[in-house]
Amino acid sequence: MKSNKLILFILFATFFASCDNELEIDPKQNEDATVTLSTETGITNILTGAYAIAADGDVYGGRILTSADLLAQTGITATTDFRWRGTFGECRQLYSKSILVNNAFVQQIYARNYQIINAANIVIENIDKVQDPEKQATMVAEANFLRSMAYFDLVRFFAKPYEAGQANTQLGVVIQPNAIYDFTIDLAKERSTVDEVYAVIIAGLNLAYNDLPEDNSFYADKYAAKALLARVYLQQGNYPAARDAAHDVIENSGRTLSTKYANAFNHDVNQSEDIFAIQITKQTGENEMTNLYASENNGGRGGDIEIRSTYLAKFTDPADERRNFNYINPDNGRRLTSKYTNQFGDVPLIRLAEMYLIRAEANFRATTFVGNTPVADINLLRTRANATNFLTITLATILRERQLELAMEGFAIHDLKRTKASIDVFADGTELIPYNDNSLVFPIPLREMDTNSKISQNPGYGG
């Protein structure tokens, strides 16, 4: 991660590179790093810059989510839910499980997340410049939330899956505990284990939960931290902890499900169901999800990711509004999701519906009934979608409900890995891509391999 650029240049360049031409840049943004790090305004700007990096289309503005969905599909036969129809070679590599070490999209996911981590570290290390103790605590908590979020996606994409009940000593990603101010020095560092990375993630989210306010505008708040913690625990297979975290959010966050499934998407400001969403404006750039999922008339490229009939066949009730929440692009006949039809709409990263799904699954696996029964939680979502309620439920039913509710929101590969499922290439069991296959792990980018003499490449990519 060497660079001859100062961190502040990276932060502000990243933020303003995606700005609309309507925005005039304040000359004060060009202040040097020394001045910036010595003022409360400067430290506040760095935290704002960390959110801005996260909102970039290369990461949480879309590409992290689309990458997770494409990696769980196969382009060989029409056996998976979605089909890649676009021209981006980088996306096709994910779709066909032939990722190259110089894949530019993979490189950007890696680099942008480490920029978020470094910005968070800078805020934490220089928080003494902020005068008000309450504001200090909130800013450090926000930095920990963003840093944990970045590490969580790095370790899920660039390392073998976490295995419940195991030591998890497999290589994770590089942990950067301290801020980097000088990118001209030797920054070589080994990868930590998956277990060590998860420990950092959980510690950061617990701190964030304890110190964040319950209401923090559209920035991360207390229950955004707890909701992400529920997701982390679910990924680990720690079902009691996942259940309790999700239950806390459901009971105490004040969020409520949107009255209609469609109302959870394509809005410009946070809705009642949003726990944490990426804010997209004409100044900060486009919603990258819309770019890949929508028709030209809806601000996209025509529908690079198309819905297959295999996805529609998963619905047991033809009246289910989630089944019908799509449209045919008249220009090319592709069936496209209606979740992303506003190119400047927010990107929902954590919705309350996910918390109900986590509580239902975790209760079922733990044979408990905290908050509600699993079937009641699932039926709450089905009622909202105008689907027939279940009388009884199985684990397979709950997992299927996740696919129906959260499709095309960046969960596919992570759910496949944590449930130890496989991609059935020909839909007959003759060729399976198992959850821990090398092809389902991103390579450490070539740029990182060239500049970090202590890092090891993932299996299947040489080095």
123 SS3 class: helix
CA distance 315 to 384: 15
Instruction: Tell me the β-bridge partners of 216.
Output: 218
- pLDDT at 11 > cutoff 60: no
Calculate the dihedral angle through the C-alpha atoms of 443, 445, 451, 454, rounding to the nearest 10 degrees.
Answer: -20
**pLDDT of 4 over the 90 cut:** no
Between the two ends of the chain, the Cα-to-Cα distance in Å is 17
pLDDT digits (tens, 9 = 90+) for 41-67: 999 999 999 999 999 999 999 999 999
Instruction: Report CA dihedral (276, 278, 281, 284) to the nearest 10 degrees.
Output: 140
Please tell me the distance from the alpha carbon of residue 74 to that of residue 288, in angstroms, as a whole number: 22
User: How does DSSP assign 316-358, residue by residue?
Assistant: S-TT-TTTT-EEE-TTT--EEESS---TTS-EEEEEHHHHHHH
Specify the amino acid at residue 211: D
Give one DSSP letter per residue of 368-385, joined into a string.
--SSS-HHHHHHHHHHHT
What whole-number distance in Å separates Cα of residue 64 and Cα of residue 455?
Answer: 23
User: Is 7-449 CATH 1.25.40.390?
Assistant: yes
What is the predicted pLDDT for the residue at 28? 44
With a pLDDT cut of 90, the percent of the chain lying above it is 83
**153 contacts 216 by C-beta, under 8 angstroms:** no
Give yes or no for a contact between 389 and 316, defined as CB atoms under 8 angstroms apart: no
Cα 172 to Cα 284: distance, rounded to the nearest angstrom: 32
Copy the structure tokens of residue 462: 């040489």
Q: Is the dihedral of CA 361, 367, 370, 371 positive or negative?
A: positive
Q: Within a 10 A sphere around the Cβ of 128, how many other Cβ atoms?
A: 9
* pLDDT category of residue 133 using cuts at 50, 70 and 90: very high
Across 66-78, average pLDDT? 84
390-443: pLDDT as tens digits: 999 999 999 999 999 999 999 999 999 999 999 988 877 888 999 999 999 999
H/E segment holding residue 235: helix 222-236
Q: 164 with 237: CB under 8 angstroms?
A: yes
Reduced to 3 states, what is the DSSP secondary structure of residue 4? coil
pTM for the model: 0.93
pLDDT band at 24, cuts 50/70/90?
A: very low
**Alpha helix locations (H) across 237-287?**
239-252
Mean pLDDT score of the chain: 91
Task: Kindly report the backbone phi and psi dihedral angles of residue 248, in degrees, each rounded to the nearest multiple of 5, phi listed first.
Answer: -60, -45
How far, in Å, are 114, 145, 226 from residue 126 at the CA level?
18, 17, 25
291 vs 350: CA distance, rounded Å: 20
Neighbours of 213 (CB within 10 A): 13
